[in-house]
Amino acid sequence: MSQSNDKIVFVCLGTRADIIKMCPIINELKRFENVKTYVCLSGQHAELADTVIKDYKITIDNNFSVMKHGQTLEYLLSIMIEKFASEIKRIKPNIVLVHGDTSTALAGAISAQYTETPLAHIEAGLRTYANTPYPEELHRRLITNCASYFLCPDEENKKILISEKINPQNIFVTGNSITDIIYSSLEKDYIFKNERLNTINYENDKEVIVTLHRREIKDSEIVLVCDAIKKLAKKNKNIYFIWPVHPSPRIKNIILKEFSIIHKNLFLLEPLCVRDMHNLIYRASLIITDSGGVQEEAFYLEKPTLVLRDHTERPFCMDSDKCKILPKDEDLEKEILTMLDMASEKTDFSIKKKLSFRTSASKKTASKIVAILEEI
């Protein structure tokens, strides 16, 4: 795929979250001469991944399409290790990149280790030191044991890795590439691809975005969230509840069953494209989520957020009084109303200007990877 003097970067992608954050880094790597990117998609997410790839025009060199109905973690990990390792042996890259803490990232990391290929871990150093989020907390610790180079979002992540006896010379703080994606997504006069979202008056009403997808959430906990949303939607016609429903059959079936009667101010939607989601958060009054990525997006867009988890690996979001961890047995209905009281209906369009000062993470990350390649 390249001339003999080219350096090859093998990128492992698999989920919507890692694709979103890796797209701008991949595009920055393409700016360097004599550096070739080989992008390998596991297929851990299918339809969720497709929209991101199309939006950001990323070329996929190979797609394993491993996803199957009812897939288990052990199936995913075993088949992805086999396929990634085989492809790494064939391509013979100079370095493998994995992002975050997904099953795809762990499979790519183990495959790099098995093929004796240097591994760079992007978004390294996140920890809760608990058993949650499951299984991501386990994944990120195992990836650390496989990696040679660590690219961290911030200084706190670097400190964590140093405390775990990682060589400081191999740890680099390059920022969080999600800021680049958010910045490129935001538009003041944005027209949503999902036409239902264009029917809301964002400047006169309040909007609450809800997302749930984590494996550890129990069926009964999903029902509690649905109950709170149903009660509030019925009582408060000026509050719009917008729920892009995750395609996980277990989660989707519970939600659809609970909302057999739909209020006009309750939108159950298919997963949104990235630009729709970012522009929706930009205009929303409150975010309710168990997602680490959505937690970050809400933080950078300065939106009040209720995190439906017991622990977070992103404590920087907690520095603001706008973000609160809410254990699932708390009174969600009361907390939503409390948080909405502090939220404005008006969209703060100055946020994009503030965000512009954070938009060099992808360039820094790509430059550091190229610098590492020169030393290998």
Do 365 and 240 sit in the same domain of this protein? no
Give the integer Cα–Cα distance in Å for 123 and 100: 5
Question: What is the total count of domains within the chain?
Answer: 2
94/200 same-domain check: no
Give residue 87's pLDDT. 98
CATH of the domain at 116: 3.40.50.2000
Q: Is residue 33 part of a domain?
A: yes
Q: Is the pLDDT of residue 247 over 80?
A: yes
Q: What is residue 139's predicted lDDT score, i.e. its pLDDT?
A: 97
Task: Give CA–CA dist 121/365, Å, rounded.
Answer: 11
- Please determine, for residue 212, whether its predicted confidence score (pLDDT) is greater than 90: yes
325 in any annotated domain: yes
Contact 51, 273 (CB under 8 A): yes
Alpha-carbon distance of 128 to 272, in angstroms, equals: 28
Same domain assignment for residues 229 and 214: yes
Q: What is the pLDDT of residues 116-138, one digit of tens each?
A: 999 999 999 999 999 899 999 99
Residue 1 has pLDDT above 60, yes or no: no
Nearest to 53 by CA among 93, 106, 13, 12: 13
Q: Does pLDDT of 210 surpass 90?
A: yes
User: Which of the four pLDDT bands, split at 50, 70 and 90, describes residue 225?
Assistant: very high
Q: Has residue 209 got a pLDDT over 60? A: yes
Residue 270 and residue 144 share a domain: no
Task: Answer whether residue 169 is part of any domain.
Answer: yes
Domain presence at residue 2: no
Q: How many Cα neighbours within 13 Å face the side chain of 258?
A: 22
Q: Say what the pLDDT of residue 246 is.
A: 92
**Does pTM surpass 0.85?**
yes
- Determine which of 52-61, 104-113, 189-198 has the lowest per-residue pLDDT on average: 52-61
Mean local confidence (pLDDT), 184-199? 95
In a domain, 353, yes or no: no
Q: 236 and 165, same structural domain? A: no
